[in-house]
A and B are shown apart, each in its own frame.
Chain A
Amino acid sequence: MLDFQAMISAIGPELLLALAGLAGVLAGAYMGDRFNGLSFKLGAATLLLAALVVIMNWEGGEAFGGLVTTTPFVNFAKCISFVAGAVTLLMAEGFLKRHETIRYEYPLLVIFASLGMGIILSASNLMTLYMGIETLSLSSYVLASFHRDSIRSSEAGLKYFVLGALASGILLYGISLVYGFTGSTDYGDIASSERTIGLVFGMVLMISGMAFKVSAAPMHVWTPDVYEGAPSPVVAFFATAPKMASMVVFANLLFTAFTGVFEDWQMIIAIIATLSMLIGAFGALIQSNLKRLLGYSSIANMGYALVAVAAGAEYGAAALLVFMTSYVIASIGLFGGVLSMRREGGMVESIDELAGLVRRRTGLALALTILVISVSGFPLAVGFIGKLVVFQAGWNAGLLPLLIVLVLSSVLAFGYYLRIILVMWVKEPVERFQPVGSTVALSVYAAAAACLVLFVFASPFLEWATQASAGFIQ
């Protein structure tokens, strides 16, 4: 007997996205190019609606005989991911219009990618997880090479595809090992099964596959290249919504399915986190291309998030949500900044192009300064609170060596974040940027404002995250 109400509460948002995506394909087939402009607004509206459906079904539920289970923890991530997807979609429109690649396929791909995110977040079975990951990844590969006439974009797409396929293979191999040794693909069954060497082996392979998806070291090598090569609005999307979703899925998988082998994976995650924090920070120090720098910075930030994961479900779950949310907000704004860097003859990406921005566009420079401050974890913006709770989580879990690396990596990070501020404020101004439309500017200002507001009124934000993670605390 199919309980329709329970099914809606578990997979309502995914149903909505799937139906909207299919409707979009049909509309595109009938309307052709006339659908191009409209599709972006409709796509963003659909994503926001999906976020609303998530909020309405906050407590979640179970569907398809346990293949799908939603909890407030994953709903939190869904909500942020969908909103981030909507915002980055709106930011993309102007960019694509100017590059004459505005096509309705773009929002459709974003919707299908978001569908994938929804599925992996809801997954409580390894099969569901894998299907969702493939939905997300395949859409992402196409998005990365969306500028099909540009060599860099095609190269980015191909690199992403080859390495991503390899990672999917590793993940699938891990899944098959786990299934072979536990006899089930259900999270709950895996959690209650006995620890065998095969299970641990499979888990390690799965961790490797997931590390690729969240671009954690040593599976990070694709990140800077894809960030640099893919079209900027696509990178804005990659850096926000899928990052949030994949990281929370990663944590959810470890916290629920592999909770029985906590000691085994804690060490691995700690090593991955250490490597990510160091490689990200050192790598970013020497970059002159802003997009590459943000790529390395995202590696370092994933390292910080993994510290929260390594702290375990009880301490780390809420911290992870807070940190990732603050990171996503700052990233949206920073990529809005990247999208604003347009001059006669196209986009520019070098940090030096920001020289003297404060003289030319005071508001933009101020907003970017706030965003950089936030993402660096300096007090004054919500990024500080994100890092503080991660630090607390690590402390509670007794991960002292990890915290030392976190502090050192943060100091290094200030080195390159500070350089961005310095270039904007100190260097002699260069030619003014061309206007890029109000959506991008609005997103930058809104993100900067959100960074400050969430810092001052941190309490409700933290409480929300704590309540969402309450299920993990026994």
Chain B
Amino acid sequence: MGNFPILTAVTFLPLAGALLIMLVQTATGSNGQDEETRGRQSLMAGLIFSAATFLASLVMLVSFEVDAPGYQLVEEVSWFAGIQYKLGIDGMSLLLILLTTLLTPISLIASYGTVKHRLTEYTIAFLVLETFMIGVFCAMDLVLFYVFFEAGLIPMFIIIGVWGGAERIYASFKFFLYTLLGSLFMLAAIVFMYMQAGTSDITVLETYAFAPEVQTWLWLAFFASFAVKLPMFPVHTWLPDAHVQAPTAGSVILAGVLLKMGGYGFLRFSLPMFPDASQFFQPMMFALSVIAIVYASLVAFRQTDMKKLIAYSSVAHMGFVTLGIFSFTEVGVQGAIFQMISHGLISGALFLIVGMVYDRMHTREIAAYGGLVNKMPIYAAIFMLFTMANVGLPGTSGFVGEILTMTGAFQASTWAAAGAALGVIFSAVYMLTLYRRTVFGPVTNPALENITDVGKKDLITITPLIIGTILLGITPNLVFDITRESSLRALQMITGG
């Protein structure tokens, strides 16, 4: 292996696949085959490439040394004006990359048979998006990070805008402009940091001490970007729209990976680079997190659209992430990283579950369902598992993330932890209500009479997520061992380690 640039390979393998699909499809033209057949071929090819990317990322996992401090598998090439093309990973980015490479093939499988028009472009968009997502998590240069961070918007914009629901144009614009406005503040901060420190290398900037008053502004600029991405109250309003309008696979990626970039950003940049400002803003972050948890849970309870309900539940669960991060305790930060991974699996699964019935019934109205257990017993069981995981039942990964972030928060502020605990109760209320109204009771909607239970494709997509959720719920140390060094590094400037 030696000097093989594994990170570059993993990052750009999907992009290479996208280019190949495009070239082959353009070169062969429409010789006799209809568009749908050709689209299916593209989807299969895309699946092969994303699966290969997943395997390549497993190689990354194998060559990763758990106990080694600092960044590993670093690659470095000068780009322009002192800015480098530098990639590297630590435990946190490793797991997030694995999450990305796992969810992408799953989303492509889930699209099989459900997305019918323009499958070639659809596949290309997902593969390009995958490259940018992986790039975000392994970029070791601020400007490079920004490039990947922003570039990912375009494919997602197209995915929502082309393959979304009725209000897709509005939702895609809202998604794009919200995120963009936040990011431009971050760009300004990045340019400033680059000017001040003379480098945009993340490893150097982590130990560079910015003056406290400067930190405040820089922190706010980064906050503008990450808070939108995460999303935090009160800039979360783009998320329900984007989720409802996005196709199922788009929602899976959006909730599973894109939201995590916000939490990743806080841990990678805000805490180590602006420790004073982070501490200064701790009360605000706690307040916003608790508001997000409680408020989003209450709003979720009143939703009539299944996807919207899960979208608001995502906002609430991301509140736990920020709560854990800004507790500045090892247990809280570890919990936050865990919660990100766990939420990636659970929310991804929940969107798939909604997608399964949507494909059959073409509605997401909760009221249109009821009594599904009579017709789809396996579906009901899977749904039950992920309902419980989302509520935070012990034995599932959802429990570990919530308990640890709350433990961390408790050490910092009793009130914040108490408020967050309220959110756990609420989450049980809205999830169980959702489950009861869709799955239990008599079959009231005559259209449900002929609904079929989950098929082979559905099982293929959901099984890895089931395994992941339970495995992490039972042996969370798998994650903690890998992320310990990352958490300590995120905290070292604050706790003075």
Contacts and interface: CB of A to CB of B under 8 A. Distances in A.
A395 interface: yes
A426 B184 contact: no
A378 interface: yes
Nearest to A378: B150
Contact of A462 (B81, B158, B162, B172): B81
B191 interface: yes
A5 interface: no
Contacts of A385: 80
A358 B154 contact: no
Contacts of B78: 459
A395 B147 contact: no
Nearest to B185: A407
A379 interface: yes
B146 A379 contact: yes
Contacts of A421: 154, 157-158
Determine the main DSSP class of B at the interface with A.
Answer: helix
Interface stretch (A75-83, A194-202, A347-355, A411-419): A411-419
B161 A422 contact: yes
A411 B80 contact: no
Nearest to B147: A379
Contact of A414 (B80, B180, B185, B192): B180
B191 A388 contact: yes
A66 B326 CA distance: 66
Interface in B264-320: none
On chain A, which size bracket covers the interface?
Answer: 20 to 34
A378 B180 CA distance: 10
A407 B161 contact: no
B121 A358 contact: yes
Contacts of B191: 388, 391-392, 395
By CB atoms of chain B within 10 A, which of A392, A410, A411, A425 has the most?
A425
B187 to A, nearest CB: 8
B184 A411 contact: yes
B177 A459 contact: no
A219 B187 CA distance: 31
A111 B151 CA distance: 40
Given A395-B192, A403-B188, A422 B147 contact: no
B210 interface: no
A426 B169 contact: yes
A388 B148 CA distance: 15
Contacts of A407: 184-185, 187-188
B31 interface: no
Interface string B142-156: 010011101100100
B157 A396 contact: no
Contact of B26 (A363, A391, A415, A422): A363
Nearest to B176: A418
A321 to B, nearest CB: 14
A112 to B, nearest CB: 37
Contacts of A459: 78-81
B78 to A, nearest CB: 7
B151 A379 contact: yes
Interface string B70-87: 000000001111000000
Interface in A383-401: 384-385, 388-389, 391-392, 395-396
B1 interface: no
B150 A379 contact: yes
Contacts of A442: none
B181 interface: yes
A362 interface: yes
On chain B, which size bracket covers the interface?
Answer: 20 to 34
Contacts of A378: 150-151, 154
A428 to B, nearest CB: 11
B478 interface: no
Contacts of A391: 187-188, 191
Interface string A127-169: 0000000000000000000000000000000000000000000
A16 B61 CA distance: 63
A217 interface: no
A320 to B, nearest CB: 15
Nearest to B82: A459
B315 to A, nearest CB: 24
B151 A426 contact: no
Contacts of B121: 358, 425
A470 to B, nearest CB: 15
A19 interface: no
Contacts of B147: 379-380, 384
A373 interface: yes
Contacts of B168: 426
Contacts of B188: 391, 403, 407
A458 interface: yes
Contacts of A411: 177, 180-181, 184
B169 A422 contact: yes
Contact of A410 (B146, B172, B184): B184
Contacts of A414: 176-177, 180
B440 interface: no
Interface in A188-219: none
Contacts of A425: 121, 158, 161-162
Nearest to A460: B80
A421 B155 CA distance: 11
Interface string A411-439: 10011001001100110000000000000
Contacts of A384: 147
Contact of A458 (B79, B150, B161): B79
A373 B184 contact: no
Contacts of B177: 411, 414-415
A418 B79 CA distance: 28
Interface in B4-22: 22
Contacts of B185: 407
A414 B154 CA distance: 11
Contacts of A458: 79-81
A317 B172 CA distance: 38
B195 interface: yes
B173 interface: yes
Contacts of A388: 143, 191
Contacts of B161: 422, 425-426
Nearest to A458: B80
Contacts of B148: 379
B125 to A, nearest CB: 9
Interface in A430-474: 458-459, 461-462
Interface in B79-131: 79-81, 118, 121
Contacts of B173: 418, 422
A271 to B, nearest CB: 21
Contacts of B157: 418, 421
A389 B181 CA distance: 20
A410 B183 CA distance: 12
Nearest to B160: A426
Interface in A320-374: 358-359, 362-363, 373
Given A396-B195, A422-B169, A458-B81, 17 more contacts: A359-B118, A379-B151, A380-B150, A380-B154, A384-B147, A388-B143, A391-B187, A392-B195, A403-B188, A407-B185, A407-B188, A410-B184, A414-B180, A418-B173, A418-B176, A422-B172, A462-B81
Closest 6 interchain pairs by CB? Answer: A458-B80, A379-B147, A459-B80, A379-B150, A426-B161, A407-B184
11 contacts: A359-B118, A362-B26, A378-B151, A379-B147, A395-B191, A411-B180, A422-B169, A425-B158, A425-B161, A458-B79, A461-B80
